[in-house]
């Protein structure tokens, strides 16, 4: 998923445009085995109950939850950490204001210890900074057939925005590429691994278990 880098300057105007004028993107075809390139989001299930408000055909799921902005951000981090967004479904769609506009990502960030910081609120929107302890990235190799692990230790930071909707607080856009621990990455990525990459992640997972 592409990294969200911009804040919405006019949240109320955004919300009006979001549900009244956006046209949905094409559905992506379902993938095969799970690879380090996260699957493009399938169309959200939605329901007839959302038709009256969801005039843009965004596929918003009319499920009321997350009365506070911190709640949806914390839940997104929890589900992302567990690898739920590797094959997007309603576990992701119900956290977003317009699931029909979700795209895909191009890598997996190997990271642990997420920390959420609330930034200044702006009317019907709220911004947060999420930081992780990063170890590297998982990407497809030059052949596109095997996954490789690129060591890149440091801090990974993403700035996100959530907006208030009739069903509670939600993300207006894609948030970021998935952030997984080494152990979860080994469990969730089912495509063929470069042997050295898999061994490196196994060693890293073992080291974190005993640290």
**Residue environment code for 32-65, b if the CB has 16+ CB neighbours within 10 A, otherwise e:** eebbbbbbbbbebebeeebeeebebebbbbbeee
pLDDT tens digits along 63-89? 889 999 999 999 999 999 999 988 878
pLDDT tens digits along 13-70? 344 444 433 333 333 333 334 455 555 444 444 433 333 344 356 778 888 899 999 9
pLDDT at 103: 62
Q: Is 93 helix (H, G, I), strand (E, B) or coil?
A: helix
Using CB atoms within 10 A of its CB, is residue 9 exposed (0-12), middle (13-18) or buried (19+)? Answer: exposed
Q: Indicate the pTM of the whole model.
A: 0.72
How does residue 101 score in pLDDT terms, banded at 50, 70 and 90? low
pLDDT at 135: 97
- Backbone dihedral angles phi then psi of residue 81, each to the nearest 5 degrees: -60, -30
Q: How many angstroms separate the CA atoms of 77 and 164, rounded? A: 18
Close Cβ partners of 96 (under 8 Å, ≥ 6 residues apart): 60, 102, 170, 171, 172, 173
């Amino acid at each position: 998923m592409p990294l969200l880098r911009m804040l919405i300057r006019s949240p109320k105007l955004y919300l009006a445009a979001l549900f009244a004028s956006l046209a949905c993107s094409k559905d992506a075809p379902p993938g095969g085995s799970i690879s380090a390139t996260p699957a493009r989001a399938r169309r959200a299930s939605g329901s007839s109950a959302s038709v009256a408000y969801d005039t843009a055909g965004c596929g918003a799921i009319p499920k009321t939850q997350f009365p506070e902005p911190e709640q949806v951000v914390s839940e997104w981090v929890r589900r992302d950490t567990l690898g739920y967004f590797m094959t997007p479904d309603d576990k992701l769609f119900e956290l977003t204001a317009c699931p029909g506009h979700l795209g895909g990502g191009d890598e997996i960030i190997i990271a642990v210890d997420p920390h959420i910081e609330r930034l200044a609120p702006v009317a019907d929107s709220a911004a947060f900074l999420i930081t992780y302890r990063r170890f590297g990235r998982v990407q497809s190799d030059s052949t596109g057939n095997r996954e490789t692990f690129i060591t890149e230790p440091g801090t990974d930071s993403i700035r996100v925005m959530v907006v208030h909707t009739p069903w509670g607080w939600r993300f207006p856009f894609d948030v970021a590429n998935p952030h997984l621990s080494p152990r979860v990455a080994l469990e969730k990525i089912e495509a063929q691994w470069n042997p050295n990459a898999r061994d490196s992640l196994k060693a890293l997972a073992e080291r974190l278990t005993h640290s």
